[in-house]
Amino acid sequence: MDFNNIGTPTTRTFTFQDGVQLASSDLPNVTFNWRGRTLTAGSSCVTTFAVNDSLNHGLSVDVSGSGDVTVENQQPTLPNVTYNNGVNSSDSIDSRLVVSGATVSDNTPCMDLSGGGIGADAGPPSCTIHVNSSSISIRKNGGTTGSVLVSMSNPSLVVATFPSNLTVSPASQTVFNGQTFSVVSKNTLRGPYNVTFTSQCGSSLVVKVNVTN
């Protein structure tokens, strides 16, 4: 942004404090317009990511469509404002200056759900791994349980690798015609996370797990 008020946008880089790191799978790009509102694919949804420290104490960060940034749902408490609602609609109001209101803001998460229900494959014919969905959504803190059906072209041990805020069970099993891995959230962290399924013969696939409220 134009930090120096000279008409030219410049870049500033901010680093996390020592021991703080990104917990979710990626750090999102958020663009703000001149009014401070976000421009996320033309929508006003909420962008969420999470950070944690070396002790796995985590925090979720939300950037709303109105441009507000909140940590762990600590939204500010707004005061009640008294206003006069007794103005006659014809009192010195030029109808040409009336701006029509927009639709209700969309507060759904800005997450990539494009892989939901869409299968994916990887690896050579002798070691092809397949998942029935490359993206799933679950609720935080054990609210819901997601499942991924994994198949192999030939029987092979498949091991799941996942972040500490998720539990995948079983963590490993022999897979052939289709075995299910269950995914559940262990805490209140939200955002997108990667779960990698790796076969003993070398093929692997990443499933995006979107953790929501």
The helix (run of H) or strand (run of E) holding residue 27 is: none
Query: pTM higher than 0.85 for the full model?
Result: no
Report pLDDT for 115: 78
- Assess if residue 153 is contained within a domain: yes
The answer to whether residue 58 sits within a structural domain is no
Residue 138 lies in a domain: yes
Instruction: Give strand pairing partners of 148.
Output: 181
Q: How many domains does the chain contain in total?
A: 1
- Name the token pair of 175: 């897979």
Strand order in 69-71's β-sheet?
21-22, 47-52, 58-63, 69-71
Q: Is residue 169 part of a domain?
A: yes
In a domain, 70, yes or no: no
* Confidence check: pLDDT of 152 > 90: yes
Where in the sequence is the domain holding 186, given as residue range(s)? Answer: 120-212
Per-residue model confidence as pLDDT tens digits over 91-147: 666 666 665 655 555 556 677 777 788 999 999 999 999 999 999 999 999 999 999
Q: CB of 205 within 8 A of CB of 181?
A: no
Residue 16 placed within a domain: no
Q: Is 173 inside any structural domain?
A: yes
Is residue 42 predicted with pLDDT exceeding 50?
Answer: no
Which residue is associated with the tokens 């679950």?
138
Integer CA distances (angstroms), 105 to 108, 164, 174, 212, in order: 9, 33, 46, 18
What CATH number did the domain enclosing 151 receive? 2.60.40.3450
Residue 4, amino acid: N
Do residues 182 and 108 touch, judged by C-beta distance below 8 A?
no
Residues across the chain: 213
Flag whether 155 is in a domain.
yes
Is the distance from CB of 121 to CB of 194 less than 8 angstroms? no
